[in-house]
Copies of this chain bind each other. A is one copy, B any other.
Amino acid sequence: MADETLYYEDFEEGRAFESAERTVSAEEIIAFAAEFDPQPMHLDEAAGKASILGGLSGSGWHMSSIAMRLFYDSVVSRTAGEGGPGIDVMEWRRPLIAGDTVRLTIRVKTRRPLASRPGIGLVTMEHTMMNQKGERIMRMEAPVLIRMRNQHSAEADQ
């Protein structure tokens, strides 16, 4: 089953996927921040501790990019996907602190066939990132385009 490609039909509303865990190092946090978001709390331990974040903490964009990778490894890599047009909402709720181990739960929120592109549907998923303490540190809702397994019957259903 794990080797089978997932199509639109497989993303029933409410279906959930769990990612693997990933531990995020200080070195990764600093490297990402140096390139994309060089604010002091993302670059320096002392500056992070002095901030409201309480420690060397990853950029929100780093957290989001790590979520993308966890989503890729657990779902996208085995899905007949056609990319995503954007993000409906992203909440960075708590800091990602160096050394944290995170994992992602992906849940199908809604789905609908695309009238403009027969054979393709839009599946909106909710992504929740938890740390090793069980705290929800990130929540996102984002749509993805996914091909249908059986394009003709799906069109006929509309």
Contact = CB atoms under 8 A, between A and B. Distances in A.
Contacts of A91: 85-86
B89 A52 contact: no
A34 B93 CA distance: 27
A66 interface: yes
Nearest to A32: B65
Contacts of A32: 65
A72 B41 CA distance: 14
A77 B37 CA distance: 10
Given A65-B65, A66-B36, A72-B39, A87 B90 contact: yes
Task: Label chain A's interface by main secondary structure.
Answer: mixed
A85 B77 CA distance: 29
Interface residues of A, number: 34
A90 to B, nearest CB: 4
A59 B64 contact: no
B86 A92 contact: yes
Query: Which of A37, A41, A66, A83 counts the most B-chain CB atoms under 10 A from its CB?
Result: A83
A36 B24 CA distance: 13
Contacts of A51: 83
Give me the 4 closest cross-chain CB pairs, A-B, nearest first.
A87-B90, A36-B65, A86-B91, A86-B90
30 contacts: A32-B65, A35-B65, A35-B69, A36-B65, A36-B66, A36-B68, A36-B72, A37-B68, A37-B69, A37-B72, A38-B72, A39-B76, A41-B83, A51-B83, A52-B82, A52-B83, A59-B68, A60-B84, A61-B65, A61-B68, A64-B64, A65-B65, A85-B92, A85-B93, A86-B89, A87-B87, A87-B89, A87-B90, A88-B89, A90-B90
